[in-house]
Chain A
């Protein structure tokens, strides 16, 4: 069984690699020179590192960990392995909120966008869970299909208005994760996902019990509605922050928790560090792939994660069926 320390070290190493890969060449040696007062080119490297590379790597880690944890919480709350913010209408609902702010209050600061997006994401996800209550046959695969359809409908509405208002390009930016625009001063909101991830860890038991079903929640003396509200709020806020700052990262919340569950199960208190590290590592790798595969051009992370994630997911789905059958 893998050890947490080893994995944390590996993710740290990936983060270091991520710092030094990119269009503008920065090497550790140049940096050392710059610190002791090198020439102007070397000082430029240091600046590049501090303004662009470090924020980018931090953003990747925070967004990856946050989305993976959000996915795991969604899976526990909906009691379905195949649900995550991008298969529950959460991402699309966040986007409609951002669009609304962009149209109605163009000059509003990013924090306002984030708050409105959180509210719309919350409403959309609550709607998803409500619809599920009326779906007669709660088969495992019907649940994410319902979410995808709901997301599709919301997205259609958003696209319609974006088209009318000439904002399709912006919409595309929100819906496709991309870390190339991350600069100092433009990603700090992501630290909020860190706070939310820590909060999720603190109240992890409630989500695990919610994953066991409403009867267990009641027998153990918790308030089901309160647990649901707390979980949905965390998921919606993490999603909103990520969509606002770097754009949606699909499938992440599906692949990582499912892989972790195969080995460690679903007790969130135990799995949360693994899920968070796994999410960060996964996005770091995908980002490196996106930056190197068509060097010197970048493939947006949303695309890479989408391809790698859906492939991995397909493999898991097939293997899972084989195991159960």
Chain B
């Protein structure tokens, strides 16, 4: 579904994404982990065509993201950036409704409204739907942005740190929703997360990045081991098995 072929992105002299090769199958949830500045967000932005490639290619569903028309891609890829700052004043419902734009082109149908209502419900925003985003808390705002992405109803969902600002309850609910999107709706979900255990618990596949390159990838049990994680983060990490599942701990 997502094929990254030797993708390169340079800023000045620095290759922040340095010849990444990835092939993610259709369906399933992939987590990208790695230290700050590893190039996770940049890689996700390259796939979402929000940042231009300096080398290599990215194919989504066989479509080259640099040459395919943007409105065609908008019906296949939805992306959430790590930081979302709006200068304008919009309500939650406005924002989520704009997620339907690729389908409705501004003429919202009853079906679109159904999607909007479902996404709002899904992210527990029912009581906040008509509030302005600039008058809400960070976590509430984060959920609204994710609702917008879900509302776009694309086969591919790219979410850069969707758990930002979320309390444990909403974080768990978010991951469960994304898991359900992959399992029940067959979506291809890619998330960037910093919590290794969340990645281990919810993903089918984990990609560990460092210095613009993919260091390891594989199923959770292959990546969640002390050698790999210590190497990726440059920090001693030990892995314990709790209730039959691997758990990384990194406090000394």
Contact = CB atoms under 8 A, between A and B. Distances in A.
Nearest to B158: A219
A215 B50 contact: yes
A221 interface: yes
B74 A266 contact: no
Contacts of B85: 213
A205 B40 CA distance: 31
Nearest to A211: B88
Interface in B49-72: 49-50, 69-72
B86 interface: yes
A219 B79 contact: yes
Contacts of A208: 88, 90, 94, 98
B245 interface: no
Interface string B95-125: 0001101100010000000000000000000
B178 to A, nearest CB: 18
Contacts of A75: 88
A218 B87 contact: no
> Which 3 pairs, one residue from A and one from B, show the smallest C-beta to C-beta distance?
A221-B74, A221-B71, A266-B88
Interface string B18-30: 0000000000000
A65 B71 CA distance: 32
A82 to B, nearest CB: 11
B70 A209 contact: no
Contact of B71 (A222, A261, A267): A222
Interface string A33-67: 00000000000000000000000000000000000
Nearest to B133: A265
The residue among A206, A209, A265 with the most chain B CB atoms within 10 A of its own CB is A265
A223 B91 CA distance: 24
B87 A222 contact: no
A297 interface: no
B88 A76 contact: yes
A261 B106 CA distance: 21
Given A218-B50, A220-B102, A212 B78 contact: no
B216 interface: no
Contacts, number: 78
The residue among A206, A208, A220 with the most chain B CB atoms within 10 A of its own CB is A220
28 contacts: A75-B88, A79-B87, A81-B87, A205-B98, A205-B106, A208-B88, A208-B98, A211-B86, A212-B88, A212-B98, A213-B85, A213-B86, A218-B49, A220-B98, A220-B101, A221-B71, A221-B73, A221-B74, A221-B75, A223-B70, A265-B89, A265-B91, A265-B94, A266-B88, A266-B89, A266-B90, A267-B94, A270-B94
A257 to B, nearest CB: 11
Interface in A65-118: 75-76, 79-81
B233 interface: no
Nearest to A203: B106
Contacts of A220: 74, 98-99, 101-102, 152
A160 interface: no
Interface of B: 48-50, 69-75, 77-79, 81, 85-91, 94, 98-99, 101-102, 106, 132, 152
A303 B163 CA distance: 53
A163 interface: no
Contacts of A76: 88
B98 A209 contact: yes
B87 A265 contact: no
Nearest to B73: A221
Contacts of B88: 75-76, 79, 208, 211-212, 261, 265-266
A295 interface: no
Nearest to A270: B94
A319 to B, nearest CB: 15
Given A205-B101, A218-B50, A219-B48, 13 more contacts: A75-B88, A81-B87, A204-B106, A205-B98, A208-B90, A212-B88, A212-B98, A215-B50, A220-B101, A220-B152, A221-B75, A222-B101, A266-B90
A211 B87 contact: yes
A214 to B, nearest CB: 8
A270 B98 CA distance: 13
B101 A265 contact: no
